Structure 1
Amino acid sequence: MSKKYLFSDEAGCFTFNRNPNVSKYFIICTITLSDLAVAADLVKLRREMIWDGSPIGDYFHATVDKQEVRDRVYEEILKHDVRIQATICEKAKAQPHVATSKAEFYKRPWYYTLRYGIAPHVSAGDELLVTAASIGKKTTIDLLHKIG
């Protein structure tokens, strides 16, 4: 039996039309770790980069960080045993009964992520601590409980 940590974030919206500024995809990305050493090493890297005068913001974020910062962050992450999984759903292909509500749609990518992306790598008896980014943290937690 071992402890594992899963962190998740989502991208995309729950609008099912093809208007401008509406996402075409809904994505769930997870990272699974067997320990949290990468967190301490990223904090250490951040401090080093501050001392070096590197162009960093309040926190690491790939969409706003300069390439040199991203390169060093990814280099650090690759030193650790991490598993990254992305479930990408093309919203236009959702069956009509699935697109009836946010909850009805939302539970499906999570089901596929957990069933096919995460479960094969978690053994019986393992403990999994799930930390989901907030799309509405209460909604996320309620839906995850309904799936499980």
Structure 2
Amino acid sequence: MSKKYLFSDEAGCFTFNRNPNVSKYFIICTITLSDLAVAADLVKLRREMIWDGSPIGDYFHATVDKQEVRDRVYEEILKHDVRIQATICEKAKAQPHVATSKAEFYKRPWYYTLRYGIAPHVSAGDELLVTAASIGKNND
């Protein structure tokens, strides 16, 4: 029996038309860890980069960080035992009954993520602490 930590975030909206600025995909990405040592190491890296005068913002974020910062962050993450999994759903391929409501659609990718992406890597008796990002107001 072991303790594992799972963090998740989502990308894409719940709109099912092909208008401009509407996402084509809905994505759930998870990272599973057996310990949280990576968090302490990323804090340490951040402090080192501040002392070095590296171009970092208030926090690490791949969409805004410069390539040199991203490279060092990923290098640090790869030193740890992490499992990254993404469930990518092309919204145009959703069955009509699934696209009838946000709730009906939303539960499907999560089911597939947990059933096929996470469950095979969690043993009976393991404890799993799940931290999921909240759905923002802009996801409509």
The interval holding the TM-score normalised by the smaller chain is: over 0.9
For structure 1, list consecutive stretches of 5 or more residues without a partner in the other structure: 137-145
C-alpha contact (below 8 Å) 1:6/1:30 kept by paired residues: yes
Shift of 1:147: 21
C-alpha contact (below 8 Å) 1:107/1:147 kept by paired residues: no
Q: Distance in 2 between matches of 1:118 and 1:30?
A: 9
Aligned residues between the structures? 139
C-alpha contact (below 8 Å) 2:12/2:139 kept by paired residues: no
Task: Say which SS state the counterpart of residue 26 (structure 1) adopts.
Answer: strand
Shift of 1:134: 1.1
Structure 1 segments, 4+ long, off by >3 Å, are none
For structure 2, list consecutive stretches of 5 or more residues without a partner in the other structure: none
Shift of 1:51: 0.4
Q: Alpha-carbon deviations, 1:67-92, whole Å to 9, x = none? A: 00000000000000000000000000
Shift of 1:3: 0.3
Query: What residue is the counterpart of 2:125 in the other structure?
Result: 125
Shift of 1:5: 0.2
1:101 aligns with 2:101: yes
Query: Relative contact order: is structure 1 or structure 2 higher (C-alpha 8 Å, sep ≥ 6)?
Result: 2
C-alpha contact (below 8 Å) 2:14/2:139 kept by paired residues: no
State TM-score, norm by structure 2: 0.96
State TM-score, norm by structure 1: 0.91
Identity %: 98
